């Protein structure tokens, strides 16, 4: 579905988002089993994977990186991730946090991102704690935050389940960090997107952590 103008959201196991501007950008790639669904979604939005400029991976969990190898096989898009996460995505290093099972084929990361950097129109907000190199992405033009698994909005806005956080305390610090930014809208890896007043909800959440 088109969530905002030029922002498509695909309900794979974890949400994948497509940005259609002068450039075409994908944020995350779903679980491997959902790749067909994701490619169908792109086709529906009349986007050919060959025309994508950047695929941002918020973190290396299988529900965010699973479709990457298949999409990359047919696309010259650059893969961009936080530099701390890159070696887990490429599988140069074995991911040592929960969940233990990592089956995705390693895909090289082309663009190593730093906190605060703007790449292809999105500002990187480093949000470690869920994984070591998790990041959120801020589209300042649309006032839209791609939260990744920096928090979840399943039923209610809250932290991710600590069973899946490499460092629960740091995960909460990262939520406090997100609450400092201003954004009207938010798209989550898990849960309902928020339209309007999103950062105020993060401020409330940060207070009750
Ligand atoms: Zn995750
Ligand atoms: Zn997830």
pLDDT at position 162: 96
pLDDT at position 158: 98
Domain residues for 137?
2-207
For ligand 1, the distance from its centroid to the CA atom of residue 14, given in whole angstroms, is: 9
pLDDT at position 97: 85
pLDDT at position 11: 86
Q: Do the Cβ atoms of 159 and 173 come closer than 8 Å?
A: no
Counting as low any pLDDT under 50, the low residues of the chain are: none
Q: What is the pLDDT of residues 16-27, one digit of tens each?
A: 999 999 899 999
C-alpha to C-alpha distance for 172 and 61, rounded to whole angstroms: 18
For ligand 1, the distance from its centroid to the CA atom of residue 66, given in whole angstroms, is: 12
Tell me if the pTM is above 0.95: yes
For ligand 1, the distance from its centroid to the CA atom of residue 13, given in whole angstroms, is: 11
Report which bound ligand comes closest to the CA of 59. Answer: 1
- CATH code, domain carrying 171: 3.60.15.10
Identify the three-state secondary structure at position 88: helix
| Residue whose entry in the numeric block shows the structure tokens 């501007």 | 21
Number of domains composing the chain? 1
């Amino acid at each position: 579905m088109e969530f905002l103008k030029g922002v498509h959201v695909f309900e794979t196991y974890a949400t994948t988002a497509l940005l259609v501007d002068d450039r075409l950008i994908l944020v995350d790639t779903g679980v491997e089993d959902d790749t067909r669904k994701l490619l169908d979604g792109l086709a529906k939005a009349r986007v050919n994977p060959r025309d994508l400029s950047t695929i941002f991976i918020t973190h290396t969990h299988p529900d965010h990186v699973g479709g990457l190898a298949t999409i990359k096989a047919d696309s010259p898009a650059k893969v961009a991730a936080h530099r701390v996460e890159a070696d887990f995505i490429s599988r140069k290093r074995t991911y040592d946090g929960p969940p233990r099972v990592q089956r995705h084929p390693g895909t090289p990361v082309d663009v190593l991102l730093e906190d605060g950097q703007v790449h292809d129109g999105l500002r990187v907000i480093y949000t470690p704690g869920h994984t070591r190199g998790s990041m959120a992405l801020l589209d300042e033009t649309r006032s839209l935050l791609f939260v990744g698994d920096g928090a979840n909005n399943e039923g209610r806005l809250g932290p991710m389940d600590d069973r899946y956080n490499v460092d629960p305390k740091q995960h909460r610090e990262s939520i406090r960090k997100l609450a400092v930014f201003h954004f009207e809208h938010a798209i989550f890896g898990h849960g309902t997107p928020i339209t309007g007043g999103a950062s105020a909800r993060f401020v409330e959440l940060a207070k009750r952590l």
